[in-house]
Each structure stands twice: as structure tokens, then as C-alpha cells.
Amino acid sequence: MNTVTRIENENRKRHVLVVDDENINRMILGHILQDEFEVFYAADGKKALEFIQKEYENLSIILLDLLMPEMDGFQLLEILSNDQKYKNIPVIVLTSEKKAEIRSLQMGAVDFIPKPYEMPEVIRARVKRSIKLAEENTLLNAVKNDSLTQLYNKEFFYQYALDLDRFHADQDMDMLVLNINRFHIVNELYGHKTGDKLLLGIAESLRFFLQKNIGLACRCYSDTFYVYIPHRNDYDTLFLNFISEVESRSGLYGISMRAGVYENCDKQLSLDQRIDRAARACSTCKKTYKSSIAMFDKAQLEKELYCEKLVRETDRALREKQFKVHYQPKFNIEGDTPVLSSAEALIRWYHPELGMISPGVFIPLFEENGLIQKLDNYVWNEAASQINRWKKELGIKLPVSVNVSRVDMFDPRLEEELLDIVKKNELSPDELFLEITESAYSDNSSGFIEIIDRLRSCGFKIEMDDFGSGYSSLNMLSSIPIDILKLDMAFIRKMCDNEKNLHMVEIIMDIAKFLDVPVVAEGVETEEQYRILKNMGCNVIQGYYFSKPLPPEALDDMLLTRSAPGARINHQQ
């Protein structure tokens, strides 16, 4: 019903349809109402329906007799109350039976007028009041509902959702966000009318579904719908059924939608927060040609919040020295007895509340937000001063490898910073090995090689880390300047599973021989792995088989007893 025309025509005569099979009754009512209303007549339900179908937009009220031939009043009432177009037209039932009054009120009639018609004033007053109420209700609906789909708008959705929580406090509820994939393309390609048809199809399907279940739906904006319903476990099938319902109602096939579900909502959260969670799940669906539904993952959110906390606390942690550098020994296994030949500096975060946090957790985060440069710089300084301390306190020279992130490599001050660190700690550059992961090489090979060349000409040793995990081509490898190849741990882990994996490691050893560089195998945990690698000619081993990464003090003994004789500094010299 068009509210605007209603308001504009406040003073027009309202149209009344009198439906009664008895001519005399029609005449009496017509007589009572005709001064104030435009009165139309129908002699049975069927004729009335025909009239309503044509005139429903102008019709203000229906006065309906119940007992009639063809189609009786109950049948007509049922049709009207189930049709979105007619359900807002108020119906007053004309009857002489008390029982029928109750039934018709239950079926959606707004009032009744008892027969015989005795008090014209009362009848006119009742008709007027029912029209007024219905018009006010229509006005309210216009505010309450989205004008295209007639679903609630966002404000009313929120209000009713809160009511639902209040009146069904024990009911577990789910919040859903629905969206059409690439809706703008539907509009562009087929026009807005088709777009609207699709939105209406969705709204009708939602209404159809909600008829059978308690719950609420609204169109929040454009092609985004919110649904708040009791918890259920069958979303995968439900969603598929829903899509076919939308297709058959809209007549548009092959549509693609995405949905996100926040299950068993925490009712302490605001509705906005619950919707955010459903929307976050929805955003994880791919916007492809296929419909998909995703559940909100609480563990994922907790992980994100945890990461956020870490990032926020990094500066303070650096100031408070919560980061500690550990050292994992590397053993040269070329001779009969393995000798401690160097170590890798690996960072750990000792968080006052969260305990020890592994670099696997925070390094990827810091690589994203740039904090990694600050942290690496800290580690390089720590490692250099540790090398110096070992030299001074134990008289042993142990080169240490530090990890250099991809981001560091493009810092124009990298060379200068490393040289400063070395100088400050009275070291020569070849005491600091730089581990650079293989994948960094393939990202930007030409610029990269230049940087590496410069670092090497300063005297730093370059280790290619995680070798085999990236996609370096043999062609590229032969032109890359490196000093040490460090085999990716995954090869060692799988090496003993089957012949094929073992053969892979052999091939990599051959590549190293071809490049004429020593090989470090990391992640060596067992005697078997150690033996195999030794037989293949692997030069250096790092792994739990020898030692886990340790705090520097814990390495002192090992340095004194297992270093190569050449590592001792002759103080007399």
C-alpha cells in the first residue's frame, strides 16, 4: 500500500467493500456508510476476491459476511491473511454467531459487527476506527520495513533481536550475515530490475523459512541481509536449500551467495559485535561463482587478538629486555669426532604473562608490520657482543649465524649497520654469518644479488637458509654468490621415510658439490639421520641430536670441550 498517496489524500472518501450474499444486508450497510465512504459490493467470496485483486491498493476496509455460497468468509479471510499484498487491509466480520467471531479474529479479522445491524452510529465508528488503526500501522511499517523487500530495517531488527533475547533468554541463538556474490555485476549486466527481483527472492525465501521457525531477518543495506535464529547444526544443507528456494522464487538461476554464521552467540556481546563476527566469517568465503557458507572461528579470533597484543607490546618488551637470544650449536662432522664449529642465534620472547613465546609465532607478524628490522638489529648486536664475550672470557672464537629478513635486505643502511656492529664489538666480519632464506632470492634476484655481493665484499659469510623450500632454478643457483648452503629441515624430517626422499637429499648434496659450497643440515634429531648425512658428505649438522638452542651461559662448557683446536685464540700472539 502506498503510504504517500494515503497521506496526500487524507480527506478523500475511503473505499469500503461490503461482502454479503444477502441483498438486504448489503443495502442496509450501504445506507449506513454511503455518506462517509465510497461503498462497493460483492455477493460472495469469489467475486470479492476478484474485486480485491484489482482494487486492493485503493481499498481501505472489507466488511465480510461469513456464510456465503461459492467461497465463504473464512476461505477468503485465509487467502487474504496469507498474501503480503492483502494482509494489511483490515477485515471486519459480519456475523450473528459468537463462536464464529472468535475464529475469525484468530484468522486475522480486526473486529466484528453483530447482525442484525441495529446502531448505525456504532457501526460507522467501528469502521472508522479500524481504518485509522490500519493506516497508522501501515505508516509504522513504512518506517519499520525496508521499502523494497518489506523485511525489517536494521533499527527494528536490532530492537526485536533484543526482545527475542529478553523473552527467550535460555535459547541459544545464531547470527547470520548473507551477501550476494558480485551483486554489482548482476546489476550492471542485467539491470536494476533484475537485481531487485533477486533481492525480493531472497526476502521471500527468508520469510518462508522464518514462518516455520522463530527468528528475524532484515535487509541491512544493498545486498546484505542479517538473520537471527535459534541455533541449529544443519547450515550446509540449509544453505543449499535456501539457494534453490531463492532461485525458484526469483526465477534467476545460477546465483551465487555467501553466508557467515556466528553460532551460539555470546549474549554479553552487543548485536554489533555479534554481527561483526558473522560478517568476518562471511568475508572468509571466496567471492566466486559458487555459493559458500563459513562459520565464525573463535580460535582464529583469539589468535588474532593474541597477535595484536604481541605487536602492541613489542616496544616495551625491547626496552625491558624481554627478548633473549639463544644459540644452537652447529657441529662440523667431516672428521672422526664432530667439533663445535659455529652456532645460530635464535630469538625467544620471555613474556611476563604469556611465558616463552617462540619466534615462529611473532617473526611472521613482525615481518608484516616492519618491526622485524628493529628486532633483527637487536639480535645482531646481542650476537656480536656474545661472540666478543666468548673470545674474551673463554679464549674461543665461535662464529655465529644471524637471521637476516627479507625486509632488512632492502634497507640501504644494512651494510653500514652490520659493519658498525662488528666494529663496536671488535670482530671481523667473517665471524658473523648471515642466514638469508632461499625464497628471498627468488623474489628479486637481480637487486638482491647486488646487495649480497656488497655484503660479501665486506667480508660477511652468506648462508642460504631453508634451501629446497623455495623455487630457485639451477640456472639461478649457479649465478648466486653464496658461501654455505643450509638444507631445509623438511628434507631431513622425511629423509628416512622412503628411498625417493633419501634420493632427494642426495641430489641436493650433489648441487652443493657442483656449487662448491659446504652444506649445513638442520633439524637433525636422530643417530640414523646423522649417519646417513655423514656418509653423503654433509659438512655441518645443527639439530636436537647435538643440542637444542640454549642460553649463552649453557654453551660455555661445550665451547671449552668440543670446539675445534683452531678456535682457540693464542693470547700470546
> Under the rule (CB under 6 A), what is the footprint of ligand C2E?
328, 346-347, 358-360, 363, 372, 376, 379, 403, 405, 465-466, 489, 522-525, 542-544, 549
**Residue 557 has which C-alpha cell?**
662448557
Please choose, from the candidates 59, 65, 186, 164, the residue with its C-alpha nearest in 3D space to the C-alpha of residue 116: 65
Query: At a CB cut-off of 8 Å and minimum separation 6, what does 58 contact?
Result: 15
Instruction: Tell the smallest beta-carbon distance from residue 522 to ligand C2E (Å).
Output: 6
Task: Quote the CA–CA distance of 554 and 548 in Å, as a whole number.
Answer: 11
The number of beta carbons lying within 10 Å of the beta carbon of residue 36 is: 13
Amino acid at 335: G
CB 540, min distance to ligand C2E, A: 13
Query: Where along the sequence are the contacts to Ca ion (CB under 5 A)?
Result: 403, 435, 465-466
Residue with smaller CB distance to ligand C2E, 101 or 376? 376
Burial of 205 (0-12, 13-18, 19+ CB in 10 A): buried
Nearest approach in angstroms of CB 366 to Ca ion is 15
Residue 382 or residue 466: which is nearer to Ca ion going by CB?
466
Residue 543 contact partner, candidates Ca ion, ligand C2E, none, CB within 5 to 8 A by sort of partner: ligand C2E
Residue closer to Ca ion by CB (options 176, 343) is 343
Judge residue 542's burial from the number of C-beta atoms within 10 Å of its C-beta, 0-12 exposed, 13-18 middle, 19 or more buried. buried
Burial-class residue 460 by CB neighbours within 10 Å (0-12, 13-18, 19+). Answer: buried
Closest CA to 173 of 162, 181, 189, 185: 162
Q: Quote the least distance from Cβ 416 to ligand C2E, whole Å.
A: 19
DSSP-derived letter for residue 267 is: T
User: Of ligand C2E, Ca ion, none, which one does residue 382 interact with (CB within 5 to 8 Å by kind)?
Assistant: none
Which one of ligand C2E, Ca ion, none is in contact with 549 (Cβ closer than 5 to 8 A by kind)? ligand C2E
Which of Ca ion, ligand C2E, none lies near 33, with the C-beta cut-off 5 to 8 A by kind? none
Residues in Cβ contact with 121 at an 8 Å cutoff, skipping those fewer than 6 apart: none
**Closest distance of CB 403 from Ca ion, Å:** 5
| Cβ nearer to ligand C2E, comparing 59 with 524 | 524
**Main-chain phi, psi angles of 467, to 5 degrees:** -60, 135
Closer residue to ligand C2E (CB): 379 or 559: 379
525 touches, from ligand C2E, Ca ion, none (C-beta below 5 to 8 Å by class): ligand C2E
- The listed partner (Ca ion, ligand C2E, none) that binds 360, CB under 5 to 8 Å by sort, is ligand C2E
Cell of 365: 607478524
Neighbours of 249 (CB within 10 A): 18
Q: Which lies closer to ligand C2E via its Cβ, residue 123 or residue 540?
A: 540
Strand partners, 487: 467, 521
Tell the smallest beta-carbon distance from residue 366 to ligand C2E (Å): 8
Give 269 or 311: the residue with its C-beta nearer to ligand C2E: 311
Distance CA 320, CA 315 (A): 9
Helix, strand, coil percent content, the chain, rounded in steps of 5: 50, 20, 30
The residue number whose beta carbon is nearest to Ca ion equals: 435
**Residue partners of 82: CB distance under 8 A and separation at least 6:** none
User: How far apart are CB 316 and ligand C2E at their closest, in Å?
Assistant: 19
With respect to Ca ion, which residue has the nearer C-beta, 21 or 344? 344
**Which of helix, strand or coil describes residue 405?**
coil
Nearer Cβ to ligand C2E, position 72 or 525? 525
CB of 562 to Ca ion, least distance (A): 21
DSSP-derived pairing of the beta strands 111-114 and 91-95: parallel
Give the shortest CB-435-to-Ca ion separation in angstroms: 4
Q: Residue 446 burial by CB count (10 A; 0-12/13-18/19+): exposed, middle or buried?
A: exposed
Residue nearer to ligand C2E on the CB measure, 208 or 544: 544
Q: Which does 328 bind (CB under 5 to 8 A by kind): Ca ion, ligand C2E, none?
A: ligand C2E
CA dist 272 and 265 (Å) reads: 12
DSSP H or E segment with residue 92: strand 91-95
Q: How far is the CB of 502 from ligand C2E (least distance, A)?
A: 18
Among ligand C2E, Ca ion, none, partner that 270 touches (CB below 5 to 8 angstroms by kind): none
